[in-house]
Amino acid sequence: MEPTGPNERAAWIFDVQRFSVHDGPGIRTTVFLQGCPLRCAWCQNPESFTPGRQLMLFPEVCMECRACSSVCPLGGAGPPTEGDGRAGACTVCGACVEVCPMAARQMVGQKMSGQEIFELVMRDRPFYGQDGGVTFCGGEPLLQWRFIAPIADLMRRQGLHVTVDTCAAVPQQTVEAVPGRLDLVLADLKLIDSEKHLHWTGQDNTGILAAIRYWDREMPGRLWISVPIIPGVHDKEEIEKIGGFLATLKNEPVVRILPFERFGESKYGALGMSKPAIVGDVEPLVEGARTVFLQQGLNLMVY
């Protein structure tokens, strides 16, 4: 697959968060791109799956004013408290979003040009200091490498620290291009057992492990590994395997544990999707992972 975005001069963005503090060092702006090759069962950003506009509905704040009903060209919009709330053949025209006083209807996904992203990110230039900057996140930002790379160059020339938060399931060409063009890579390592990986994310992990090894070799000190810990997905054995793999990496990347969070669950409902069936207590698993990783001598980052 060619590493190309839907449009090389613009990309589908679903959020830009300023004063971001968990996506790399310092104060950062995180740019969230849509589109992802994986479908992790626990994903907290379902609006990132496919590029494009998507209508999100939040019944909790709806005041049942029916302003939406009166403007929907298909006549199907209505209070999400009384049913789905969107027209059956909804064209995501946005008319209902425009009039909704409560922001109970929101349109997510907008095309932004590289220039627009650059300007927005540069608003916080004075706060980045030496270590802060921008993180491209997603979705899978590296799917749109041709879009990101020139913006990253421009930002780095301005002294920004540029990072990408990736699932590492990206074409080899892109993997190889990254070390020379970015300051830091935050790569996910979800599972070592390839079959499990296929089962839970929709792809096996051969390419992912290769990419991580490559980056470890080619960008020492500039690789952070994020390990999501999900109840019902990870067990002690799997955690030990992950630790074992990480221990074989030569340049001791920073390792972060990302415990499963439920903060994104309401978004599934808002998009009309069913929410992931993740049950169980994450804390004991996280505790276990911490112990294992420390025992294995990993460079664990503790919050």
Partner 1 sequence: MEGRLTEITSIVDRSGSMDSVLDEDKNLATVEHDFTELTKGLDLDFRTEILRDRVRRFEDDADPFVRGRIATQVYRDLSDLPVVLKRAEIMARVLETIQPVVLPEEKILGAVYRRRRVHEGISDPDAWRVRVAFPEQHGYDERWPLPEAVRQELKWWANRKTDRQGANPLRQKNAWLAKYAIANPHGSVNGHTLPDHGILLEAGIGELRRQIAERLEGVVTDPQHNQLKAMDRCLEGLSIYCLRCAKTAREQADQMDDPALKTRLEEAATNCETLASDPPTDFYGALQLIFFSNFVDLTDNPGDAYSYGRIDRLLYPFYRSDLDSGRLTPEDAFELVCYFLIKIWGAQPSVNLTVGGVDEHGEDATNDLSTLFLEAMETTEMTVDLSVRLHRNTPEAFLRTVTRVVRKGFGRPSLYNDDVTVEALIRTDIEAADARDYAPLGCVEVMIPGRSAYRTMSMGLSLPKVLELVLNGGRCLVTGDRVWEDVPEQFENFETLLLEYRKRVRAILELGVEIIRVDEKIEPGIRPRPWLTVLSRGGIEDAVDLTAGQPKYDPVGVTLDGVADIVNSLYVVRKLVFSDERVTLDELRDALRANWEGYEGLRQYVINRLPRFGQDDPELNAIARAETDHYATCFEGKKTFYGGQFWPMIFGVSTSLIYGRAPKTGATPSGRCRGETLAMSFQPSPAGPQGCATAMLRSITAIDFLKFPGGVSNVQEIDPSLVQGEDGMQRLVNLIRGFFDLGGMEVSLNFLDGKTLREAQQNPDRHRHLMVRLFGLSAQFVNLSPKVQESVIERVESASRRPLSGG
- Note whether 284 binds partner 1 by CB under 8 A: no
For the stretch 252-285, what's the b/e string if a residue is b when 16 or more beta carbons lie within 10 angstroms of its beta carbon?
ebbbbbeebeeebeebbbbbeeeebeeeeebeeb
- With CB under 5 to 8 Å by kind, the binding choice for 190 among ligand SF4, partner 1, none is none
- With CB under 5 to 8 Å by kind, the binding choice for 62 among ligand SF4, partner 1, none is ligand SF4
Integer distance in angstroms from the first to the last C-alpha of the chain?
Answer: 37
Q: How many residues bind partner 1 (CB under 8 A)?
A: 33
| DSSP type of residue 90 | -
- Work out which of 39, 82, 115, 127 binds partner 1, going by CB under 8 A: 127
Report the residue number, 7 or 172, with the smaller CB distance to partner 1.
7
Residue of 163, 204, 159 whose CA lies nearest to 187: 163
- Note whether 19 binds partner 1 by CB under 8 A: yes
Q: Which residues contact 237 (CB under 8 A, 6 or more apart)?
A: none
Q: Are 137 and 30 in contact (CB under 8 A)?
A: yes
Q: Are 265 and 41 in contact (CB under 8 A)?
A: no
Smallest distance, partner 1 to C-beta of residue 193, A: 33
Which chain residues interact with ligand SF4 by CB under 6 A?
Answer: 55, 62-68, 72, 74, 76-77, 79-80, 86-87, 90-96, 99-102, 104-105
Report the residue number, 134 or 292, with the smaller CB distance to partner 1.
134
**Binding footprint of partner 1 on the chain (CB under 8 A):** 13-19, 21, 25-27, 32, 63, 65, 67, 99-103, 106, 108, 110, 112, 123-124, 126-129, 131-132, 303
